[in-house]
Amino acid sequence: MSDATIKTIELVVNQAPVADRVEPRTSLADFLREQRMLCGTNIGCEQGVCGACTIDVDGVPTRSCITPAISCAGSAVRTIEGFDDDATMNALRAAFTAEHALQCGYCTPGMLMTARDIVTRLPDADDARVRLELSGNLCRCTGYVGIVRAIRRVLDARRASTAIPHAAAAVTA
Amino acid sequence: MKAAPYDYAKPLACDEAIALIKPTEGSGKFVAGSQSLGPMMNLRLAQPEVLVDLRGIAALRECRIENEVVTLGACITHAQIEDGGIDTGTRGFMEHVARGIAYRAVRNRGTLGGSLAHADPAADWVNSMCALDAQFLVTGPGGARAIANGDWMSGAFTTALEADEILTGVRFARLSSSARWSYYKVNRKPGEFAEAIAVFIDDAARGVCRAVIGALDAPPYAIDDARELLRDADADTSCFDAHLEAAGIEAGSYEHEVHRAALVRAAAGIRNQNGTAS
């Protein structure tokens, strides 16, 4: 780092307040991986196309490779490591396992971020909409069929639990 | 790749932002969501020495409709437009276009003004604002000015904006309640930059029937009177080819085929009344 441009930023990472020194050019992805040791966020294309680096910034999916860390000062950032206690994410993880929605796993953290956005923001999404929404996350292994099925499984379970409250526990178990 | 080193500031007012960029003598850049500039910097196609982040300026997020004139702040995001939280006065046109821009994670951060200032000819807002005949509201060291639609882009990635000027917003006439619109773009994959874009705004109550041929190697090609293109589908379609030729698209080329398909399908979207061809 060249000392001239180093700045101190404060932000929240996985619900814990963080103060750290960054070069302005450091991407949010590099900051998380190399300074916060949160390597669950994967870096693929570094030009905002592949979606592997997608994380949650202030509650919405964000490309961490083309977003400078310094521009997230004051924000709340949540990486895949920060979703261990999240019921929706755990349902998605179980569905990804059940539907063989990953092979090498490189795209999976970003896929899960987008999948969580789909099931929470678009509860009525059909398969075509799921595929459209997934167009910003590339997977080289699965052919997407398992990923779409996994998201479908969670969408259906959430719909069923809304329709029949007593069945909720059985569906998500 | 990683971006080259730069300095960074996030001012709270336009005056402050302009004062920060002035001493950089052209080596500094204003930035908002960084969803276009970010990739270019990572690829080192752009190497600004200073970035001045405009997202802290609340005035750039203000939107209003007064006397049938819509003003949209430059720093509203594509996702905000997509979700309908902002009244764009376009009868769902901008909401529809927003939903097709890149991917949701990009739309959450990328801004209307950032896309317009970047001025990629294949970008959605560049062509949509041309179809709406929008004015571009700019402020700089010499004060504020409005740039007419036809004067905004002089070429690919080239606008009338000076290096020390900020695009603060856009202004255009609200569509009347009987207005119809149609937007068709050709992408090999959803979210990619388009190979061809065609737009129609048919607002007879205001005397407007305008079309745009977009995603050229040049600024959007506007057709001020597009009524001829909206006549009966079985009628002579040579007027389509005349406009495509005038837009600089070589007859018989692949580009001609995709631009023609976009224009014909967008016109059909209007004729089918629902106006939501996509």
Q: 3-state SS of B86-116? A: CCCCCCCHHHHHHHCCCCHHHHCCCEHHHHH
What's the domain range around B221?
182-271
Q: Does A30 touch chain B (CB under 8 A)?
A: yes
Please, how many CA atoms are within 13 Å of residue A84, restricted to the half-sphere of its CB?
5
Residues B196 and B161 in one domain: no
Residues A21 and A35 in one domain: yes
Residues B215 and B141 in one domain: no
Residues B155 and B199 in one domain: no
Residues B164 and B206 in one domain: no
Q: Which of B36, B55, B106 to mutate to test the interface with A (most CBs of A within 10 A)?
A: B106
Residues A157 and A139 in one domain: yes
Residues A66 and A94 in one domain: no
How many distinct structural domains can be found in chain B? Answer: 3
Q: Is residue B277 part of a domain?
A: no
Q: Residue B14 belongs to a domain with what CATH number?
A: 3.30.43.10
Q: Are A78 and A90 in contact (CB under 8 A)?
A: no
Question: Helix A108-121 and helix A145-163: axis angle, to 10°?
Answer: 30
* Contacts across the A-B interface (CB distance below 8 Å): 95
Looking at A51, A82, A113, which one is the last position of a domain?
A82
Q: Does A85 touch chain B (CB under 8 A)?
A: no
Looking at B141, B173, B205, which one is the last position of a domain?
B173
Residue keyed to tokens 């959007």? B220
Q: Are B21 and B63 in contact (CB under 8 A)?
A: no
Beta-strand relationship, B153-155 and B158-159: antiparallel
CA distance A66 to chain B (A): 5
Q: What are the tens digits of pLDDT across the range A46-105? A: 999 999 999 999 999 999 999 999 999 999 999 999 999 999 999 999 999 999 999 999
Give the chain A residue whose CA is nearest to the CA of B40: A47
Q: Does A41 touch chain B (CB under 8 A)?
A: no
Looking at B173, B192, B213, which one is the last position of a domain?
B173
Residues A93 and A168 in one domain: yes
Amino acid at A6: I
Radius of gyration of chain A, Cα coordinates, nearest whole angstrom: 17
Q: Based on the number of CB atoms within 10 Å of its own CB, is B159 exposed (0-12), middle (13-18) or buried (19 or more)?
A: buried
Q: Is residue B162 part of a domain?
A: yes
Give the chain A residue whose CA is nearest to the CA of B56: A71
Q: Residue B207 belongs to a domain with what CATH number?
A: 3.30.390
Partners of B137 in the β-ladder: B146, B169
Residues B156 and B238 in one domain: no
Q: Do A66 and B39 touch (CB under 8 A)?
A: yes
Mean pLDDT value across residues A100-124: 98
Residue A21 pLDDT more than 70? yes
Q: Select from A25, A27, A49 the Cβ nearest to the Cβ of B4.
A: A25
pLDDT confidence bin for A173, thresholds 50/70/90: very low
pLDDT (tens, 9 = 90+) of chain B, 278 residues, equals 899 999 999 999 999 999 999 999 989 999 999 999 999 999 999 999 999 999 999 999 999 999 999 999 999 999 999 999 999 999 999 999 999 999 999 999 999 999 999 999 999 999 999 999 999 999 999 999 999 999 999 999 999 999 999 999 999 999 999 999 999 999 999 999 999 999 999 999 999 999 999 999 999 999 999 999 998 766 677 899 999 999 999 999 999 999 999 999 999 999 986 544 44
Residues B264 and B241 in one domain: yes
Residue A4 pLDDT more than 90? no
Residues A96 and A77 in one domain: no
Amino acid at A80: I
Whole-number pLDDT of residue A135: 97
Residues B226 and B166 in one domain: no
Amino acid at A146: G
Residue keyed to tokens 């939107």? B63
Looking at A63, A82, A101, which one is the last position of a domain?
A82
Residues B156 and B70 in one domain: yes
Residues of B in contact with A27 (CB under 8 A): 2-3, 38, 42
Whole-number pLDDT of residue B238: 86
Residues A127 and A153 in one domain: yes
Whole-number pLDDT of residue B276: 47
Q: Are A43 and A29 in contact (CB under 8 A)?
A: yes
ipTM (interface pTM): 0.93
Q: Residue A71 belongs to a domain with what CATH number?
A: 3.10.20.30
Residues B150 and B121 in one domain: yes
Residues of A in contact with B55 (CB under 8 A): 71
Q: Which of B109, B111, B278 to mutate to test the interface with A (most CBs of A within 10 A)?
A: B109
HEC string for chain A: CCHHHCEEEEEEECCEEEEEEECCCCEHHHHHHHHCCCCCCCCCCCCCCCCCCEEEECCEEEECCCCEHHHHCCCEEECHHHHCCCHHHHHHHHHHHHCCCCCCCCCHHHHHHHHHHHHHHCCCCCHHHHHHHHHHCCCCCCCCHHHHHHHHHHHHHHHHHHHCHHHHHHHHC
Residues A17 and A64 in one domain: yes
Question: Helix A87-98 and helix A145-163: axis angle, to 10°?
Answer: 130
Q: Is residue B1 part of a domain?
A: no
Residues B168 and B101 in one domain: yes
How many distinct structural domains can be found in chain A? Answer: 2
Q: Are A65 and A50 in contact (CB under 8 A)?
A: no
Q: Do A61 and B4 touch (CB under 8 A)?
A: no
- Phi and psi torsions of A21, nearest 5°: -100, 130
Token reading at B230: 């909206």
Residues A63 and A101 in one domain: no
Whole-number pLDDT of residue B11: 98
Amino acid at B58: A
Give the chain B residue whose CA is nearest to the CA of A134: B103
Residues A94 and A72 in one domain: no
Residues A96 and A39 in one domain: no
What's the domain range around A19?
3-82
Looking at A58, A82, A106, which one is the last position of a domain?
A82
Whole-number pLDDT of residue A166: 55
Residues B215 and B258 in one domain: yes
More confident residue, B1 or A10: A10
Q: Which of A66, A113, A137 to mutate to test the interface with B (most CBs of B within 10 A)?
A: A66
Q: Is residue B2 part of a domain?
A: no
A-contacting residues of B 43-72, CB under 8 Å? 43, 51, 53, 55
DSSP B249: P
pLDDT confidence bin for A163, thresholds 50/70/90: confident
Whole-number pLDDT of residue A30: 98
Whole-number pLDDT of residue B277: 43
Residues of B in contact with A9 (CB under 8 A): none
DSSP string, B133-169: T-EEEEEETTEEEEE-HHHHEEETTEES--TT-EEEE
Q: Does A20 touch chain B (CB under 8 A)?
A: no
Residues B73 and B168 in one domain: yes
